[in-house]
Amino acid sequence: MSKEWPLWEIFIRGQNGLSHRHVGSLHAPDAEMAVRNARDVYTRRNEGVSIWVVPSAQITASAPSEKGLLFEPSQSKIYRHPTFYDIPDDVGHM
Q: Provide, rounded to whole angstroms, the least separation between the CB of residue 4 and other proteins.
A: 5
Euclidean distance between CA atoms 66 and 82, whole angstroms? 28
Q: Contact between 66 and other proteins (CB under 8 A)?
A: no
Euclidean distance between CA atoms 45 and 59, whole angstroms? 28
Q: Provide, rounded to whole angstroms, the least separation between the CB of residue 63 and other proteins.
A: 8
Alpha helices in the chain (DSSP H): 31-42, 67-75
User: One symbol per residue from 35 to 54: x for binding other proteins (CB under 8 A), - otherwise; what is it?
Assistant: -----xx--xx---------
Euclidean distance between CA atoms 69 and 61, whole angstroms? 15
Q: Contact between 58 and other proteins (CB under 8 A)?
A: no
Binding residues for other proteins, per CB under 8 A? 1-5, 7, 24-27, 29-30, 33, 40-41, 44-45, 61, 63-64
